[in-house]
Structure 1
């Protein structure tokens, strides 16, 4: 794998950082981000929205999750064809759209706070199953994504491959279920 793909010069410094140190930073950042989001959604009251378009950010978030899903599927296709450059480009695009989603998500929940699901009956159980698995796996996928990128960009391709076998399906599930949660909240909200 390393023979047919050379690392960009801008990532060469990552080869010097030990996996233990990198993973410590990744886990620290991931725990901090998860704690912040938990506080933001469940403990902070929504602020008064200064502009009307804040309410539209949930649709933007669904669109960004959809784009992430598409980029992840394209990245998977490219790695199957051993096109490492395209694989990396699509993964970077998925990462960027996921990062933009996170920024938009934080802004939305800063103003809106927690969104209540109003559906009743069996759909309520389905919604909460999807939501709970989405939330739990979204917390777990952040360090997996960052670790996959670290191992790839530092040239540790065998470890990257092992970690990415878990990262890809979880990231894909989180992206798809994020869109499902949006539509269920819109329809039953």
Structure 2
């Protein structure tokens, strides 16, 4: 009974966090500190760091699945906690970068923040490929928030049957978000404005 009550207690928290994080990121994404009068240097060094954070998250997720399949529950817990911590670090760096820097435009080879017809021709269908990856990455990164929290709370509540069921859904989506975060960075990095 105690395990069920822990899950019920955490439900409101999970719902709140699952709404607050995407809304806050969307709002902060549009805020530029310079526009607010703050003289802040662009944090242009962050994208390769947060892309690496995504890559390490993917590795930790895979290692955590291997650990639990080999009966190493404590190692699994540590790896999953590390993956959550890295995801939070990614989020903080991502928002900090976008609050201090202009967003790159995929295909903008001359870095004027306008995708001109000649640039569109040069990148061709790669832009569609990039946008599909980016859009699915964004949508699933929002959807994964409650899934990760529910999965984590079920483990804390030692409700391992329910934990395992949702983890089978959470894992591939979270892995996709982590891997596509790296792919998006690699594709957009030539177009960053420094």
Equivalent residue number for residue 40 of structure 2: 50
- Secondary structure of 2:45's counterpart equals helix
Unpaired runs of 5+ residues, structure 1, are 1-13
From the superposition, tell whether residues 180 and 56 of structure 1 become closer, same or farther in structure 2 (CA, over 3 Å): same
Ranges of 4+ aligned residues in structure 1 off by more than 6 Å: none
Unpaired runs of 5+ residues, structure 2, are 109-122
- Which of these two proteins has the greater Rg computed from alpha carbons? 2
Instruction: Tell me the TM-score normalised to structure 1 length.
Output: 0.84
Instruction: Tell me the TM-score normalised to structure 2 length.
Output: 0.82
Q: Given that residues 33 and 40 in structure 2 are in contact (C-alpha distance below 8 angstroms), is that contact kept between their aligned partners in structure 1?
A: no
Q: How far apart, CA to CA, are the structure 2 residues paired with 1:49 and 1:84?
A: 48
Q: Given that residues 44 and 113 in structure 1 are in contact (C-alpha distance below 8 angstroms), is that contact kept between their aligned partners in structure 2?
A: no
Equivalent residue number for residue 117 of structure 1: 106
Equivalent residue number for residue 68 of structure 1: 57
Say if 2:183 is the partner of 1:180.
Answer: yes
Equivalent residue number for residue 15 of structure 2: 27
Q: How far apart, CA to CA, are the structure 1 residues paired with 2:143 and 2:161?
A: 21
Q: How far apart, CA to CA, are the structure 1 residues paired with 2:40 and 2:132?
A: 34
Say if 2:119 is the partner of 1:129.
Answer: no
Q: How far apart, CA to CA, are the structure 2 residues paired with 1:17 and 1:185?
A: 45
Say if 2:25 is the partner of 1:37.
Answer: yes
